[in-house]
Amino acid sequence: MPTKPDYPELAAALQGWRYRPECDCLQDKVIVVTGAGGGIGRAAAKTFACYGASVVLLGRTRSKLEAVFDWIEAQTNTRPVIVACDLGALDDSSADALHDAIAEGYGHLDGLLHNASTLGPKLPVANYPSREWQRVMQVNVFAPFLLTRTLIPLLNAAPAASVIMTSSTVGRKGRAYWGAYAVSKRALEGLMEVLADEHEHAGVVRINSVNPGATRTAMRAAAYPAERPETVPSPEAKMDILVYLMADASKAVSGQALDAREWNPRDGGKPTV
């Protein structure tokens, strides 16, 4: 870990990391992080910056993004940018505007972490409001599709680029009452597989999904209100796999549905059996 940043949560989590990156492994890379204002997205943005990346902070709440921006500017020598964007309203024109801003500011894009998502109500499908179903699918599936499609030219302009889809346990095995959230995460897995297959031969953009497992976030607390937060791993504890997938060490890894709890970098990025 770089020595300068004051980030005690990351320093504590490093003890359990299975991948020990060089301190400049993300140097000069440009990475978009959606949902960068909190939880896993905030930890990822700060961690990527600690390892040298300039992070495009995309999220709905500007005040939260500003707090992450201020920390990165104070603690690292990178160039963060704030993009306040409600993925529930993302359309072609707003995605194109993001593309143009990144093209003008950086000229290329090395990484895209699709982290933002919404839980939606935990109800039987028979009682699920159609408007809520549409909202969850918009944020969790359509927005990642549209952002990826729009930013592919910038990803292809990088020497090697990485796209990470944040998945879920219920996206790999459906569970009662998880409704649109589970279906959206299963769809995201399908999007990852299609993209990985489409980009396999060019070898420039690699695409993988990661199930972080139980993580101490606001969404986790909403889904499991009776759970004690201190018993759940911090977001920083899951950053080793994300840094690995963004770093050049993972250039040969694409099309993998990875689980942060089982993953071992010595297995070429494949899940541990």
Identity of the amino acid at 17? W
CA R_g for the chain: 17
Three-state secondary-structure class, residue 206: strand
The CA-to-CA distance between both ends of the chain, in Å, stands at 29
Q: What is the dihedral of CA 171, 44, 261, 147, to 10 degrees?
A: 30
User: Which of 7, 181, 224, 244 is the catalytic position?
Assistant: 181
181 is an active site residue: yes
CA torsion sign for 150, 46, 190, 215 is negative
**Among residues 107, 7, 15, 99, which one has the least CA distance to residue 48?**
7
Active-site residue list:
181
